[in-house]
Amino acid sequence: MSPNYLEPLHREALSIHRLPLKRIRYTKLSSDGADLPADAADHVAVRVDHDLLAKPVIWTAHRSPKEMGWAEAKAWAEGLTINGWSWRLPTVEEAFLLCDRTRVYQALDPLYFPDCDGEWIWTATVAPAPAGYAWFVDLVDGYSDRGRQDGQGRVRAVRAGQ
């Protein structure tokens, strides 16, 4: 069989890489949940709208004050009371789509996430194997990987019940 049998598949795979990158739309939110202008400095949350999300996801504007293990990260997120809302760890898919792939080196816009310095963040998604692992997302380059749940990472929480 000739290697040309892969040619149509190869061309199709290459065309996927030519698709335009989806731009993320951010909206700053005040302590009462109202929309704020992009230049506001006192926001506590950010609504993130992405073409690949069924509906926007609301994120905390600021990360956890320190790195922590997965169980502590989950408890920290669930203990937040910002705007009187319930919070949780994001799924790996939510965290992966938070990353703006039109940016270089820093996957989050510092105008909206001012304390982001390229940290790894925990997600609620437990890895099926090996045991004791969960998914992280890297906010420098926007990629993800599994990490030991007793390892250290930051938290960026999402509003629960979205």
For the chain, which residues make up each domain, given as ranges? 21-159
* E strand map for the chain: 25-29, 35-36, 45-49, 57-60, 87-88, 120-126, 133-138, 144-148, 158-159
- Judge if the upstream peptide bond of residue 110 is cis by omega within 30 degrees of 0: no
pLDDT by residue, tens only, the chain of 162 residues:
444 433 444 444 434 444 555 678 999 999 999 999 999 999 999 999 988 888 899 999 999 999 999 999 999 999 999 999 999 999 999 998 888 888 878 889 999 999 998 899 999 999 999 999 999 999 988 889 999 999 999 999 999 866
Structure tokens at 53: 């999300």
Judging by beta carbons within 10 Å of its beta carbon (0-12, 13-18, 19+), is residue 152 exposed, middle or buried? middle
Amino acid in position 47 = R
CB 58 within 8 Å of CB 45: yes
Residue 1, CB-side half-sphere exposure with 13 Å CA sphere: 5
CATH topology of domain 21-159: Mannose-Binding Protein A; Chain A (3.10.100)
